[in-house]
Structure 1
Amino acid sequence: MKKLFAVLGYPIGHSMSPIMLNDVLSYYEIDAHYHPFKVSPDELETAIRGLKAIGISGFNVTIPHKSAIIPFLDGVDDLALSIGAVNTVVNDNGKFIGYNTDGYGFIKGLNPYISSFSDKKVLVIGAGGAARAIYFTMAKMKPFALDITNRTVTKAEELIEACPFETRSKALSLEDAANHLNEYDVVIQTTMIGMYPNISETPISLRNLNPQSLVCDIIYNPLDTKFLIEARQKGATVQNGVEMFVYQGALAFEKWTGIFPDVKRMRENVLRFLEA
């Protein structure tokens, strides 16, 4: 019997996951289909019951359901529970178990540049849901320092306090972070500032950027945000949001099938779609 995988979101038409994951299902000759479901917030509980009734093998969860879905699951991984968000659900013998692959997906995308964070000073820009997933997961990697800057400093402080993993962290204003930017080995932009159509915006001044640093932006539309363009002009190594998107999908695929897929193939598919 053909297996079914899915992604739930509202809206959902923009999702690249079906293109990326249906291709690797076919590539590994898995008799399955990955389908996007548009599920409004007031339909979420009904949708989960329906997916369980038809025996779906697993599914992804995207905005606005990542936190709202938790009460409707049979279990949640400890990291996902601490983050307070689920993006991947596995059907484990009839029980829906939630995971969060966003943070690990981001960190796996850094593997070509960083093998250990123990001597790295890291700055996270933003204190929203994506920042929380990346910050909590990176805290497990025990970096030398892991600071957060946000327009509202109290939100950064609350995120640091909520983290269940011990780490050296400071909450900084945007101005303080910009003034000390030369101290950081890795700078991670997690907000939506600079996303299409607001492509002329940047979240923080890069005037003091260390040219030896790695600068990441989780946005992938456009592929080169103004933030990354300025960082590259300063001499820094840059990475856009495609790697995080591809690796979080690869980790979900592995949880469903036991196969860690060809990320190069997945990346090429995503880039073709974005460039088109």
Structure 2
Amino acid sequence: MSKKIYGLIGRNIAYSFSQKYFEQKFQKLFLKECQYHIFDIEEISEVDRVFQREGLAGFNVTIPYKVQIMDYLDLVNEEAEAVGAVNTVALKRDKRIGYNTDVFGFSRTLDVHLKPSHKSAVILGDGGAAKAVRYVLEQRNIPYLVVSRGGDFRFEDLTKEEVAMHSLIIQCTPVGTFPKVDDCLDFPFEGLSDKHLVVDLVYNPEQTAFMKKSIKQNAKMVNGFFMLEQQAEKSWQIWNDE
């Protein structure tokens, strides 16, 4: 039986859980022909080498290539086009097709944790994951404020009063990810309360410095692991749909 290669492309992604997750999945399903590789690339142009791998069936995409990868695809599905970012690529009928399963993963996270009192949001960051978060919030008619280093509203502009006004906070940057676990965004944590839901999309470590400081303010805290599981399962479904 010919081998099937899946994987993850990104930069400095040795910490990723994806390889272990999918290797365990292959074992459970007795899929001896399937392999999952980490493709740690310095520049997006190196993805051409990945596409040449014999048996390549698809791969996930993470920081910092979720937008740049779109230039290397033949097709981008409607949802990923609307988001403006791709995190899953499938090779089907000699076509490179891009999807966004972050949308599914974040939407499922909100299904579990969102309450009617969470009426507006602050999104921290403006990368690929933040684009998916924005798309989901727009679908649910939840207004949001985007805070980023280079945007119209910057981190230094964010006050505790502004934070207090928005009961949903989504941390979409990689700050605090292993191995830099002590790093933390400059954020007015004193604006948080027990009325806040804070979602940090980082999943390694299980509790980032940002999460720990949020918990001290009695905010309800969710990390990115559930979202990651959900988007991984959606990726698997996409790769195996005919």
Report the TM-score, using the length of structure 2 for normalisation.
0.84
Q: Secondary structure at the match of 1:248?
A: helix
Does structure 1 residue 179 correspond to structure 2 residue 180? no
Are 1:218 and 2:201 counterparts? yes
- In the other structure, the counterpart of 2:78 is 78
2:234 to 242, 251, 255: 251
Q: Distance in 2 between matches of 1:121 and 1:38?
A: 36
Contact 2:181/2:208 (CA < 8 Å) preserved in 1? no
Aligned equivalents of 2:11, 2:207: Cα separation in 1 = 26
Structure 1: 5+ residue stretches without partners: 155-170, 259-276
Q: Could you tell me which residue of structure 1 aligns to residue 93 of structure 2?
A: 93
CA shift for structure 1 position 234: 1.8
**Closer, same or farther in 2 for the Cα pair 1:205/1:43, shift >3 Å?**
same
1:179/1:67 CA distance change after superposition, 3 Å:
same
Q: CA deviation at 1:188?
A: 0.7
Matched to 2:107, the amino acid is I
Q: Residues 184 and 18 from structure 1, CA distance in 2 versus in 1: closer, same or farther, beyond 3 angstroms?
A: same
AA paired with 1:3?
A: K
1:151 and 1:7, CA in 2 relative to 1: closer, same or farther beyond 3 A?
Answer: closer
How far 1:198 sits from its partner (Å)?
A: 5.5
Give 2:164's aligned amino acid: N
Number of residues paired by the alignment? 237
Q: Is the 8 A contact 1:76 1:98 kept in 2?
A: yes
Are the equivalent residues in 1 in contact too, given 2:85–2:131 (CA < 8 A)? no
* Root-mean-square deviation (Å): 2.6
**Corresponding residue number in structure 2 for 1:191:** 173
* Letter matched to residue 37 of structure 1: F
Which AA in structure 2 matches 1:32?
C
Structure 2: tracts of 5 or more residues without a match: none
Distance 2:137 2:92 in 1: 27
Query: Which residue does 1:207 correspond to in 2?
Result: 190
- 1:116 to partner: Cα distance: 7.0
Identity of aligned residues (%): 29
Deviation by residue 1:34-75 (Cα, 9 ceiling, x = unmatched):
222344424322432x14xx3422211233433332222120
* 1:141 matches 2:136: no
Change (3 A) 1:176 1:61: closer
Aligned pair in 2 of structure 1 residues 112, 63: CA closer, same or farther (>3 Å)?
Answer: closer
C-alpha distance in structure 2 between counterparts of 1:44 and 1:208, whole Å: 42
1:123 matched to 2:122? The reply is yes
Bigger mean CA offset, 100-109 vs 61-70: 61-70
Supply the AA of the counterpart residue of 1:199. Answer: D
- The answer for the alignment partner of 2:47 in structure 1 is 44
Q: Does 1:5 align with 2:3?
A: no
Deviation track 1:94-116 (CA, whole Å, cap 9, x = no partner) reads 22210111232122123221277
Question: Which one of the candidate residues 198, 202, 217 is aligned to 1:234?
Answer: 217
Change (3 A) 1:64 1:228: closer
